[in-house]
Amino acid sequence: MTIANTAHQINEEIRDREVRLIGADGAQLGVMSAREAQVRADEAGLDLVKISPTATPPVCKLMDYGKYRFEQAKREKEAKKNQHVVEIKEVRMSPGIDIGDFNTKLRNAQKFLAEGNRVKVTVRFRGREMAHTDIGRKLLLDFAEQCGELAVLDKEPKLEGRHMSIFLSAKSAKTNK
């Protein structure tokens, strides 16, 4: 994490003729030249930071910029810690899958959904199986129905080349959005 790539203009980088100055406590100090504002910042031992460059005149604030960046980085790190990245897990089957294997795939998908991840369920057709895509569609719809309490079907079964797939999203993830 580098402080060098600043989003704000600070101290000597501010080249505007006049600026509106806000004190470290948030009090309005009025409109003055950028040079005069810099002198006040130096006297207070603080940095002059342009916080609103689009306003007329631009708004600058007296603050300890290093401390401000540290606090901001800390807040971002805390926010990142609390967010959950939703991954897409994939479950693959063939149209001739037996009930035991189907149940194993179903349990895995339910585990993924319980963790809050999305699940892509794919049926792969080989050779002459392509003539019976209706079997794969029924298999996928049965799979989605079995996951009904945990998941919502995002898309109807779609055939792409030799693969037919559906997407399932966890119900709890849908309600949080």
Clarify whether residues 29 and 107 are in a common domain: no
- 112 lies in a domain? yes
Long-range contacts of 30-33 (CB under 8 A, 24+ apart): 31/57
Domain closes at, from 28, 49, 80: 80
Structural domain boundaries, residue 111: 88-176
List per-block mean pLDDT (blocks of 10 residues) for the chain, which spans 177 residues.
60 86 89 90 90 87 89 87 80 92 92 88 91 90 88 88 91 53
pLDDT digits (tens, 9 = 90+) for 118-140: 999 999 999 898 898 899 999 99
Exposed/middle/buried for residue 136 (C-beta within 10 Å: 0-12, 13-18, 19+): buried
| Phi, psi (degrees; rounded to nearest 5) at 31 | -95, 130
Nearest 5°: phi and psi at 86? -85, 120
Q: Is 139 a member of any domain? A: yes
What per-residue confidence (pLDDT) applies to 92? 93
Q: Is residue 60 part of a domain?
A: yes
* 112 and 67 fall within a common domain: no
pTM (global) more than 0.85:
no
Q: What is the pLDDT of residue 172?
A: 63
